[in-house]
């Protein structure tokens, strides 16, 4: 595993998060949630700091991180792409849209392109079922996406 050097200011922020939860073991999930907000993901080093602050084993922290699909140990890309797999999007062909993203970006769901530009993820319903199938890039929503439109969406960001 690559050793990622974390900035001291972000680590300080993380320690403060732990402190805001009184360094309670029982607050692990809340702490992880905030930590992922700070770093974008939960690398091993972050989990080690949390374990130390909450006085629990790193194995236990890792166990929780790997149990919940919300938590990720892989860094997200500069432009995180999420494809909705809710019922409406699904029946209107979201799967084919995913396949197209996978083909063009050459990554699987949950992965990030080697240049760090794009990461690919699935989510369940963003409440825009009328626009199905829906794709999010960062905070921007794209509606009624067809497989042949994927190319253009990627091109917008691939500068």
Measured from the CB atom, is 68 or 144 closer to other proteins? 68
**Quick one: which of 13, 23, 62, 149 contacts other proteins (CB under 8 A)?**
62
- The answer to whether the bond into 80 is cis (omega within 30° of 0) is no
Tokens standing for 101? 């993203």
Query: Per rule CB under 8 A, is residue 3 in the interface with other proteins?
Result: yes
Rounded distance between C-alpha atoms, residue 116 and residue 156, angstroms: 16
Query: Per rule CB under 8 A, is residue 7 in the interface with other proteins?
Result: yes
Give the nearest distance from C-beta 60 to other proteins in angstroms: 5
**Cβ atoms 77, 117 nearer than 8 A:** yes
Query: Per rule CB under 8 A, is residue 128 in the interface with other proteins?
Result: no
User: Please, is 35 exposed, middle or buried when counting C-beta atoms within 10 Å of its C-beta (0-12, 13-18, 19+)?
Assistant: buried
What's the start-to-end Cα distance of the chain, in Å?
29
Query: Per rule CB under 8 A, is residue 16 in the interface with other proteins?
Result: no
**Quick one: which of 11, 126, 128, 141 contacts other proteins (CB under 8 A)?**
11
Give the nearest distance from C-beta 65 to other proteins in angstroms: 8
CB count in 10 Å sphere of residue 46: 23
**Measured between alpha carbons, how far is residue 43 from residues 16, 55, 64, 88 in Å?**
18, 18, 13, 34
- Interaction pattern, residues 68-107, with other proteins; x per rule: CB under 8 A: -x--------------------------------------
Rounded distance between C-alpha atoms, residue 97 and residue 8, angstroms: 40
Measured from the CB atom, is 2 or 115 closer to other proteins? 2
Query: Per rule CB under 8 A, is residue 159 in the interface with other proteins?
Result: no
Query: Per rule CB under 8 A, is residue 61 in the interface with other proteins?
Result: yes
* Residues of the shown chain interacting with other proteins in the complex, contacts defined by CB under 8 A: 1, 3-8, 11, 44-45, 47-49, 56-63, 66-67, 69
């Amino acid at each position: 595993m690559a050793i990622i050097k974390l900035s001291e200011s972000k680590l300080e922020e993380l320690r403060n998060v732990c402190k805001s939860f009184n360094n309670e073991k029982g607050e692990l999930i809340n702490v992880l949630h905030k930590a992922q907000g700070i770093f974008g993901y939960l690398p091993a080093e972050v989990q080690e700091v949390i374990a130390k602050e909450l006085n629990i084993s790193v194995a236990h922290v890792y166990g929780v991180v790997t149990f919940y699909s919300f938590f990720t140990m892989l860094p997200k890309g500069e432009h995180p792409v999420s494809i909705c797999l809710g019922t409406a999007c699904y029946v209107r062909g979201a799967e084919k849209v995913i396949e197209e993203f996978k083909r063009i970006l050459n990554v699987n769901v949950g992965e990030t392109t080697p240049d760090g530009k794009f990461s690919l993820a699935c989510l369940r319903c963003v409440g825009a079922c009328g626009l199905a199938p829906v794709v999010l890039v960062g905070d921007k929503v794209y509606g009624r996406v067809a497989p042949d439109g994927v190319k253009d969406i990627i091109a917008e960001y691939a500068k």
